[in-house]
Structure 1
Amino acid sequence: MTAPAGFWPRYAAWSLDAAVVAAATTVLGAPLWSGYCEAMRRGWAAIGRRTAQIMADSALADLNFAGFFRRLLADPALHAALGEVGVAFGALLLGWLLAYAALGAVYEVACVAGPWRATPGKRALGLRVAAADGGRLGAGRAALRYLGGALSWLTLNIGHLVAVAKPEQRALHDRLAGARVDCIDARGMPAWAWAWIGLQLLAALAATAWLSLALQAALEAALDPGML
């Protein structure tokens, strides 16, 4: 007996698969990503040194914050460092996302169109992807479903939230591909899946706190007289 899969089991399954693909993307492209990160580190260090120097020069010259900001905007060395950070960050972000999308496509299509009819994450949650009529979803429509997921993201996740609507509970990309996600496990959402979602929430809070501390440390480093 199958029933349409609910939003939270689908989210838990997706996040498990996303973690697997993200880890593989990071490991396989590690030499490239580390090079971009090193370029960003050098750029940020140069920005901190140059900002501190300009601040000191402005304080000694006229004790005028307006003069400090004018010097910041006109300083070619600072512009060069900002450009280095921007280029490295853009290359890291775009390169990683493209690699993730390509690897994710292979992972999704191979699993959904294969004998499991589900990714490992969906299989762990007792979910299965099928055609709208209940038959097997072929590789072509599995690929269309994966690509259609981009529209769900571009609609600020409204396409994903459509899966809340009963009775079909089909997301936008399911509808585009003529697919559905069924729950084949009558026991429902397991406790470990709720714990996994809770862990993600804690990780998001920790990342926010870390970012705040990192920005504070960067500002303090820029104002440290030892850097002048």
Structure 2
Amino acid sequence: MGRAATAAPAGFWHRAAAWSIDAACIAPVAMLLAWRWLQPASVPFCEATEALLRLAGELAARAIVDGTPLHGLAIALMHDPRITDATATLQLATWRWLLPASFAFGLVGAAWHVAGERSRWQGSPGKRLLGLRVTSRDGATPSLARSAWRHLAGTASWATLNLGHVMAAAGPRHLALHDRISATRVVDDAGPEARLPGWARAWLTLVVVAGVAVTAWLVQRAAALMEAGLLAALY
């Protein structure tokens, strides 16, 4: 029996580890490619974020001093025209920063993944490290058009707030949304009982810890800006 006949569907965590490795390689290249647009867009984005958080803290302090009950505080803030204007400014600044970053990441990612799937590895370098391959439903190497369509279909998995990716956790076929759309699958030649290597578990742990640390820093920074606005209003 050949590889196509014996290969088992790749598990969710194997795929997650492979994708995160690829993303860590793609992101720096994408940022360099988009830096010409990201650098000037980052300044208004940071300023708009800071202005909104400070304003929210200031208005919250004034509402409390005026006796607004806590349960009505959020409603009062949402209907304040100054908050509405600041939010609109932040949304525009966010899109101006996000669009070039997303386009560059998608462009570099397309070259990275499509080239990998069309190679003898049948997968990106991240998949190669985990022993995974991308195949068509019949086990053959995907055509150039199918690989490109698979990468484009990944947009649908992201657009569903990653539910399309989580679908890969469901057995027995472990197909993500973009696998279903493009009629492809990710297989693991090591078999269905293959365990995630220790180094890959350590890598995923590092990714989670880094994500939690960045989130905690952002929350702390947001709280500090709101506190500064609150104190400015009170004193």
User: Would you call these one fold, judging by a TM-score over 0.5?
Assistant: yes
Aligned letter for 2:46? R
Q: Which has the higher contact order (CA 8 A, sep 6+)?
A: 2
Aligned letter for 1:64? D
Tell whether the 8 Å contact from 2:45 to 2:97 is kept in structure 1 after alignment: no
Cα distance, 1:55 vs structure 2: 8.9
Structure-2 change in CA distance of 1:113 and 1:220 (3 Å): same
CA distances 1:117-157 after superposition (whole Å, capped 9, x unpaired)? 11010001111112222221111011121122222333444
- Whole-angstrom CA distance in 1 between matches of 2:111 and 2:210: 28
* 1:18 and 2:23 correspond: yes
Aligned position for 2:218? 211
Structure-2 change in CA distance of 1:44 and 1:134 (3 Å): closer
Q: How does 1:1-80 map to 2 (within 5 A)?
A: 2-44=7-49, 64=66, 73=80
- Whole-angstrom CA distance in 2 between matches of 1:51 and 1:167: 49
Cα distance, 1:161 vs structure 2: 3.4
CA distances 1:197-220 after superposition (whole Å, capped 9, x unpaired)? 111221222122112211121023
Query: Greater Rg, structure 1 or structure 2?
Result: 1
- Whole-angstrom CA distance in 1 between matches of 2:186 and 2:25: 20
Structure-2 change in CA distance of 1:24 and 1:162 (3 Å): same
**Which of 131, 137, 143 is matched with 1:138 structurally?**
143
- Whole-angstrom CA distance in 1 between matches of 2:200 and 2:57: 48
- Whole-angstrom CA distance in 2 between matches of 1:52 and 1:153: 33
- Matched residue count: 220
Q: Secondary structure at the match of 2:31?
A: helix
Q: Secondary structure at the match of 1:29?
A: helix
Structure 1 moving runs of 4+ over 6 Å: 48-56
Superposition RMSD in Å: 3.4
Q: How does 1:143-162 map to 2 (within 5 A)?
A: 143-162=148-167
Structure-2 change in CA distance of 1:126 and 1:48 (3 Å): closer
Identity %: 36
The unaligned stretches of length 5 or more in structure 2 are 69-75
Structure-2 change in CA distance of 1:220 and 1:141 (3 Å): same
TM-score normalised by length of structure 2: 0.76
Cα distance, 1:27 vs structure 2: 2.3
CA distances 1:2-33 after superposition (whole Å, capped 9, x unpaired)? 32211110111011112222222222222321
- Per mean C-alpha deviation after superposition, the further-off stretch among 40-49 and 180-189 is 40-49
Structure-2 change in CA distance of 1:103 and 1:54 (3 Å): same
